[in-house]
Amino acid sequence: MRGYITLPIIIVLTAIGYLFYTTLFVLIDGWLGLWTAAGLANAAVFTALAAVVVTTYGIAVLKDPGGVPASFSPDIEDSENTVHEIKRKGGDLRYCQKCSQYKPPRTHHCRICKRCVLRMDHHCVWINNCVGHENYKIFFVFVFYGVIACIHSMVLLVGSVSFALHNDQDNNAGSFNVSYIICGAVLLPLTIALSVLLGWHIYLILQNKTTIEYHDGVRAMCLAEKVGNVYRHPYDLGIYENLVSVLGPNIFCWFCPMTKIVGSGLRFRTAYDIPLSTFPT
């Protein structure tokens, strides 16, 4: 069903379109004047942000998150692959009964997409797609620019409301635009929700975890503490290496949506691949 237009996607696109129109033709025009230097500058910046948001959102909706090749087979004798994920019960190599194939590390079966997804983070109803190895970065970049656009619009909303209220007091008039109320009712919760989501995924990237691995790690940590052991996430390579593994080796392209994805999604570097003497702290 990936790429199909669903109600959540229509809601997202409608919200983007409404906020774009309101920000330009109500907030900027009502406060700064759309054709002033300040108005044109803000309109240009916000239009660029909106274009990036729509583009990255479209790619996140359409891009395949990454599936397991039919030819994949785990090689337990591969000396370069230091971690082999196994089933919690029995200790066998992870095998998907529904897909009838072995699962590479960090791969999980999505019951909605009805397939195994490489480095699966979660299934997102707002893009009608899984967030996985191939589209995780574009999803993150979409959220990042979405937060910036929302904050920009929020600043313009506060300034425009203050300007309108000041004019109403001077003119003893009740011309407060109801569009401000509707815009605030949409913009405020959206800004909060996207900011929380961005903060969550920044945390996950810094730890080199997926949402699924975070919850699995909490359980593993509790079990380890019961027997006196210390749990260590096997894919945590240190902050910089974690960032590189998700966003790419070129720091100047970390927030560029068109960079190449790192790795095949079938094998990942682990903390056990790094000598203790050089392991980043």
Residue 183 is among the residues annotated as catalytic for this protein: no
CA distance 109 to 19: 36
Tokens (6 digits) for 55: 């583009």
Tokens 């699995």 belong to which residue?
216
pLDDT on residue 80: 55
CA distance 198 to 236: 20
pLDDT on residue 234: 86
For 93-145, the pLDDT digits (tens) are 788 889 989 888 999 999 999 999 999 999 999 999 999 999 999 999 999 99
Q: How distant is the alpha carbon of residue 228 from its chain centre? A: 35
- Name the catalytic one among 124, 130, 150, 183: 124
Model-level pTM?
0.89
Q: How distant is the alpha carbon of residue 166 from its chain centre? A: 39
Low-confidence ranges of the chain (pLDDT < 50): 172-175, 276-281
CA distance 95 to 265: 17
CB distance 233 to 209 below 8 Å: yes
pLDDT on residue 233: 84
DSSP state of 273: G
